[in-house]
Structure 1
Amino acid sequence: MRLRRSIKWLLGLIAVIVLASAGGWLYITMPHMEEGAPPPLPDYEFVPDEAVEKGQPFHVLLLGVDRRGNEPGRSDTMMLMRVEPDGTIRLISFMRDLYVPIPGRSEPDRLNHAFAYGGPDLVRKAIKENFGVDAQYYAVVDFHGFQRVIDVLGGVEVDVDHAMPPTGDLPGLSPGLQRLNGEQALRYVRFRQDAEGDFGRVRRQQQLIQAVAQEVKSVYGILQTPRLIKAAYPYVRTNLGLDELLRLAKAADWKPDATHNLRIPVDGSYTQQRIRGMAVLVPDLEANRKAIEAFLGESVWAKH
């Protein structure tokens, strides 16, 4: 089983959001790379089909990648974040084992393979073609940045739902409310050796996003902004501009009544199959498109 898989995603982006909201640090010195650390993320091409109209919602594709050396890696976490004009944030989590057509590929594949084939723009295209919703912006974070940001924050407080035994070089966890360091937080969000499997992992990803956001927006988190940025900078890539970051910072209160979550595939809308040796989830695309339409409150096919 591959180690250190799962989410490595939003944390660097959150640090950038705090940068914008806490005083506008517009210049960051590239930090000295740690010995043995993975190389910085490359620059990515990202060409959305739809522009953002003033006063309208915008979508950010959040991708957590697991890399080995100079390999592009796979996006083991894929979320689409919708930011509404009124500050409401909606998160759609796409499970990595979704078996769908990938633009430009001869046969369907796991959705998380799209990143290795064509970076964040191919993930965007695959989500739009299959589920009808486009993203205008993206943020890519890898696991090393994830761990570094958590540790700079001094950990994150999480209510661990049940005991998790150690796996490989990742530590075990006991149930209950506790402060997790970067390595422990990674363990928490990648755990899937229970009855929930990948579905429980997606739920924990969404839980941790809100917990980390609260830590970052605390007084201590704001004071750590320069260190957060230096920790995450080599391992974060995004095309969000200052205007979008400021708007996102305003919206990102992350209160329970202001954040809504959806997991794709929704219950009863998929079958578990083994195809070409892969355990995959084959979704009912129409049912999941309708679920997204209901979640977003509009027809995702309105512009098609």
Structure 2
Amino acid sequence: MRTFSKVFILSFICFLLAISIGSYSYVKEKDIKLETNIDSPIKEQFDLSKRIVEKLETKPKEPEIYSTLKEALEKSNRINFLVMGLEDVRTDTIIFASFCPDTKKVDLVNIPRDTYIHRVGYNTAEQRKINSIYGDHGIAGVRKTASYILDNVPIHHYVILNYEGVEKIVDGLGGVEVDVPFHMKYKDPTGKPPLEINILPGKQILDGKKSLEFLRFRKGNQNKGGYMDGDLGRIKAQQEFMSSFIGKATDNLLTVITKGFNHVKTDINLVDSLSYGRKAIGMGKEDFEMTTLPGKPEFRKISKKTLSYFIYDKKETTKLLEKIYNVK
């Protein structure tokens, strides 16, 4: 079973870790071992950092208004992240996260892994998808490509989180409530480890294991069942999952940090992390806006092989960025 966006939730956790009050970078630089016991020294360090930063907390204010996107990209103080989840050498999840320090709001734009992109010299059908770029060009290549798709918007940092810690993080939060749209059933005994998904429909609290299964599910065996609009339907379901998760995660950053710490890779340094954390203090679930890159799925024949691609709409993408950057 293909695992498109199975680490969608973890990419967001990684973003939270990156902008949390500097605790991640602090313990990383000091080589402090994180403990799951809330009475451990790390809790005291976390609380101390939190109290210090709260004294420096900034208040939300009206954002600057720009007349063109070009002007906005040159003058805006927005901080842009590319959050990624990896499946071997492919980017299974790519999210553009734009944080506005003025309004304390974050815009999350999911870039589908099947997004069509043509690289000179890479002409097979599989190489025309954005998820193949990491294996050939690494993080730098993905950043450059994402920036190109998004009207050359600057990407200041990257964050990567593997999916090994998702069960512990969700379990540590006491599970996540979602409304499962239909019976999700799938079995793959050949997987490593073997995969068996069986989630009944309806509103329920999913533990870590079931959460992973919910995020991974695309369609049943023999292509029976699944989302009517394929992977785009799954992205919508995952965004609903994220919305529920955010409400718990923002109130339990210590749990997120202690459970997810060892699964993070980022280029954000201590100074930047402290700065971003200060500006992010006070954010809640309502401060996150989630959307998907504008476009539509389309079958194309490349090198005698027909595959489904996501064809992004350049004009609508520009409009989306103008909205994000407050261009009037």
Report TM bin, short chain.
0.7 to 0.9
Matching residue of 1:95: 112
Q: Is the 8 A contact 2:82 2:143 kept in 1?
A: yes
Matching residue of 1:246: 277
Q: Does 1:174 align with 2:200?
A: yes
Closer/same/farther in 2, CA of residues 272 and 244 from structure 1, 3 Å limit: farther
Q: Is the 8 A contact 2:293 2:317 kept in 1?
A: no
Aligned AA for 2:248? E
Alignment of 1:262-301 (within 5 A): 262-266=291-295, 269=296, 271-276=298-303, 277=305, 279-281=307-309, 283=311, 285-297=313-325
Secondary structure class of the residue paired with 1:98: coil
Closer/same/farther in 2, CA of residues 80 and 236 from structure 1, 3 Å limit: same
Matching residue of 2:209: 183
How far apart are 1:79 and its partner, in Å? Answer: 0.6
> What does the per-residue CA deviation read over 1:18-54, in whole Å, with 9 as the maximum and x for residues that have no partner?
46479x756454579xxxxxxxxxxxxxxxxxxx999
Aligned AA for 2:96? L
Secondary structure class of the residue paired with 2:199: coil
Q: Is the 8 A contact 1:21 1:249 kept in 2?
A: no
Closer/same/farther in 2, CA of residues 289 and 5 from structure 1, 3 Å limit: closer
Unaligned segments of structure 1, at least 5 residues: 33-51, 68-72, 300-304
How far apart are 1:177 and its partner, in Å? Answer: 2.3
Matching residue of 2:262: 234
How far apart are 1:57 and its partner, in Å? Answer: 0.9
Q: Does 1:112 align with 2:112?
A: no
Q: Is the 8 A contact 2:5 2:93 kept in 1?
A: no
Secondary structure class of the residue paired with 2:164: helix
Which segment drifts farther, 123-132 or 7-16?
A: 7-16
Aligned AA for 1:146? V
Aligned AA for 1:101? H
* Structure showing the higher helix proportion among its residues: 2
Alignment of 1:79-228 (within 5 A): 79-85=95-101, 86-102=103-119, 105-107=121-123, 109-132=128-151, 133-168=153-188, 169-193=195-219, 194-218=227-251, 221-222=252-253, 224=255, 228=257
The TM-score normalised by the length of structure 1 is 0.74
Matching residue of 1:74: 90
Closer/same/farther in 2, CA of residues 80 and 271 from structure 1, 3 Å limit: same
Q: How far, CA to CA, are the matches of 2:91 and 2:150 in structure 1?
A: 17
Closer/same/farther in 2, CA of residues 211 and 136 from structure 1, 3 Å limit: same
How far apart are 1:289 and its partner, in Å? Answer: 3.2
Q: How far, CA to CA, are the matches of 2:2 and 2:310 in structure 1?
A: 23
The TM-score normalised by the length of structure 2 is 0.69
Matching residue of 2:79: 58
Secondary structure class of the residue paired with 2:281: helix
